[in-house]
Chains A and B, each alone.
Chain A
Amino acid sequence: DAGVTQSPTHLIKTRGQHVTLRCSPISGHKSVSWYQQVLGQGPQFIFQYYEKEERGRGNFPDRFSARQFPNYSSELNVNALLLGDSALYLCASSQGRTQYFGPGTRLLVL
């Protein structure tokens, strides 16, 4: 079975632009969570979705939004990008409380 997949793998944007990151969970997993990992730090929770409903939200500004589709895949959207948004964005799918992380999308904002 395929693991969690994310696209794109790398992305370069400029300040003020918008970005959409995509995630496909492990088959059968209905929960998807998004994390931001800045170099040298632990992952910071952004959102959790379960059955297309938002189940949790971390301490991130409203520029960050997400949604989950009927096939349980998910998108993370970030508007008005700032230099500080440069990070590895991780998606994790779960069944129960064990999370399986995807390879991440490395975003660089110039």
Chain B
Amino acid sequence: GQQVMQIPQYQHVQEGEDFTTYCNSSTTLSNIQWYKQRPGGHPVFLIQLVKSGEVKKQKRLTFQFGEAKKNSSLHITATQTTDVGTYFCAGHGDNNDMRFGAGTRLTVKP
């Protein structure tokens, strides 16, 4: 079955540094979504990418979808303490289910 892998598992940065998390699927995805979950909270939808090679930006966040639609990345420029949380990628699988990666937990030191 489809597997969605995410690296790194943890990332600790100094405030102002950049951060990137990578997502890889074992199969081609029809789309990929990114979510953010704050400690003690629930996943909150950030963005959906559909097209091969698509790049979308949300302020300091840049999302990319690979040409083969099997990988994606989220890059945060100049992290802030408000960026703390776990970032998940998720893609739709064969069974009409959404497969989440294990997430990258970001901590930011002020």
The residue of chain B having its C-beta at the shortest distance from the C-beta of A4 within the complex is B42
Q: Do the beta carbons of A42 and B92 come within 8 Å of each other?
A: no
A residues in contact with B103, CB < 8 Å? 41-42
Across the A-B interface, how many residue pairs have beta carbons closer than 8 Å?
A: 54
Q: Does B33 make an interface contact (CB < 8 A)?
A: yes
Q: Do the beta carbons of A44 and B100 come within 8 Å of each other?
A: yes
Q: Do the beta carbons of B42 and A97 come within 8 Å of each other?
A: no
Interface bracket on B: 20 to 34
Using known A-B contacts A41-B102, A42-B88, A97-B33, determine if residue A55 contacts B96 with beta carbons closer than 8 Å. yes
A residues in contact with B1, CB < 8 Å? 59
How many whole Å from B49's CB to the nearest CB in chain A? 11
Chain A residues within 8 Å of chain B by Cβ, number = 23
Q: Does B68 make an interface contact (CB < 8 A)?
A: no
Chain B contacts with A in 63-110, Cβ cutoff 8 A: 88, 90, 92, 95-103
12 contacts between A and B (CB under 8 A): A42-B90, A42-B102, A42-B103, A43-B43, A43-B88, A45-B97, A56-B97, A57-B97, A97-B31, A98-B45, A101-B42, A101-B45
